[in-house]
């Protein structure tokens, strides 16, 4: 995985790569050409040089899929106007009522494709993904996590009543009988890993919504995994940071967006 250099049969010396990455691209005035140099192998492979080059002159190896483009990429404010974006974001609801219908694999793939686009610190992209769809496994995980959360006095006082009520409604209450859960996990435990996973889950939630799916973040699983990391075995995963969301077809339609608090922002009138 690396940027290899510049294809000089294509490069026109426009210097856009130098503007987006002055650390590794520079203009050699004597030779009148742009030079790529990654002396310490510290390039984060963000690919901005590939994304900006009008001549497609950047050479690279094994970065993942091919560069991707579409009509309108250079004019994103026209692609999705603010009002549409705001309405879409505002209408995103946590879904706790699902149809008992599996989501086809190609649709789940689309959600995962969107999650892969989420930004991660230093472009490290070390997170792993798993989808669990077996109702027995989801029930076993739900039961074990509820048991774990009820052992701890603080989580017991917060959640015991809610679990009691939901046990009467759902077969596996922790996941609202959703047909699938998606787990994103990472071997590190820094703030950045948590931010990365948060971004990835959020991208997945928004992609799911546009595909007619509902999701709900499941912080309970994350708390229980932190209390007792051995529980991760029930999900067939490892790691030290986790993000979990349920996903399926919503069996409910919301007609308006609930009120949300307005933030006082220092620096804005
Ligand atoms: C980090 C995080 C953890 C959450 N954990 C849970 C959870 O364990 N169970 C649950 O039912 N909802 C969970 N939620 C959903 C929130 O309760 C929900 O976003 C909030 O009530 C607002 O509702 P809305 O998403 O429909 O706007 C979580 C949300 C976030 C962002």
Tell me the pLDDT tens digit for each residue of 190-238: 999 999 999 999 999 999 999 999 999 999 999 999 999 999 999 999 9
Q: Does ligand 1 have an atom closer than 6 angstroms to the CB of 176?
A: no
pLDDT of residue 128: 98
- 10 Å CB burial of residue 150 (0-12, 13-18, 19+) is middle
pTM for the model stands at: 0.96
Given ligand 1 and candidates 94, 173, 225, 226, which is best to mutate, with the most ligand atoms within 8 Å of its CB? 94
Distance of CA 182 from the midpoint of ligand 1 (Å): 15
Q: Answer whether 76's CB lies under 8 Å from 65's CB.
A: no
In the predicted model, residues of the chain with pLDDT beneath 50 are: none
Among 2.60.40.1180, 3.30.70.20, 3.40.30.10, 3.30.9.10, name the CATH number for the domain at 2-61.
3.30.70.20
The rounded Å distance from CA 98 to ligand 1 centre is: 16
195-154-202 Cα angle (round to 5): 25
Cβ–ligand 1 distance for 93 under 6 Å, the answer yes
**Domain limits, the chain:** 2-61, 93-248
Which residue has the least CA distance to atom 14 on ligand 1? 217
Give, as one character, the DSSP assignment of residue 113: H
Q: What was the pLDDT predicted at 41?
A: 87
Q: Determine whether the shortest distance from the Cβ of 159 to ligand 1 is under 6 A.
A: no
Tokens of 120: 């991660």
Class of domain 93-248: alpha beta
Does the C-beta of 209 come closer than 6 Å to ligand 1? no
- Half-sphere exposure in the Cβ direction for 239 (13 Å, CA): 23
- Which are the contacts of 193, defined by CB distance < 8 A and separation ≥ 6? 127, 186, 240, 241
The dihedral sign for the CA sequence 233, 237, 242, 244:
negative
Q: Residue 73 has what pLDDT?
A: 97
CA of 267 to the centre of ligand 1 (A): 29
CA of 93 to the centre of ligand 1 (A): 9
Q: CB of 219 closer than 6 A to ligand 1?
A: yes
**pLDDT at residue 1, as a whole number:** 74
**Ligand 1 centre distance from Cα of residue 122 (Å):** 27
Residue closest by Cα to atom 9 of ligand 1 = 218
Taking the CA of residue 220 as reference, the ligand 1 atom at the shortest distance is 8
Q: Which residues of 21-58 are buried (b: 16+ CB within 10 A; e: fewer)?
A: beebbeeeeeeeebebebeeeebebebbbbeebeeebb
End-to-end, the C-alpha distance of the chain in Å comes to 47
């Amino acid at each position: 995985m690396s940027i290899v250099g510049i294809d000089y049969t294509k490069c026109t010396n426009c210097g856009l790569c130098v503007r987006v990455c002055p650390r590794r691209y520079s203009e050699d005035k004597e030779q009148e050409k742009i030079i790529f140099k990654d002396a310490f192998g510290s390039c984060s492979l963000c690919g901005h040089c590939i994304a900006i080059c009008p001549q497609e002159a950047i050479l690279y190896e094994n970065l993942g899929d091919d560069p991707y483009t579409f009509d309108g990429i250079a004019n994103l404010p026209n692609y999705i106007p603010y009002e549409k974006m705001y309405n879409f974001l505002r209408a995103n609801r946590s879904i706790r009522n699902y149809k008992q219908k599996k989501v086809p694999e190609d649709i789940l793939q689309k959600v995962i494709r969107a999650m892969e686009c989420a930004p991660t610190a230093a472009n490290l992209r070390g997170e792993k993904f798993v989808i669990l769809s077996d109702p027995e496994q989801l029930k076993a995980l739900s039961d074990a996590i509820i048991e774990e959360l009820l052992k701890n006095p603080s989580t017991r006082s917060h959640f015991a009543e809610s679990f009691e009520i939901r046990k009467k409604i759902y077969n596996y209450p922790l996941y609202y009988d959703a047909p699938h859960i998606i787990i994103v996990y990472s071997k590190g435990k820094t703030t950045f890993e948590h931010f990365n996973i948060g971004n990835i889950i959020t991208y997945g939630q928004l992609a799911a919504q546009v595909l007619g799916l509902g999701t709900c973040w499941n912080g309970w699983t994350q708390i229980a995994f932190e209390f007792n990391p051995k529980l991760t075995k029930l999900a067939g995963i490892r790691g030290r940071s986790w993000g979990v969301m349920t996903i399926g077809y919503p069996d409910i339609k919301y007609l308006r967006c609930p009120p949300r608090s307005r933030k006082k922002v220092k620096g804005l009138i």
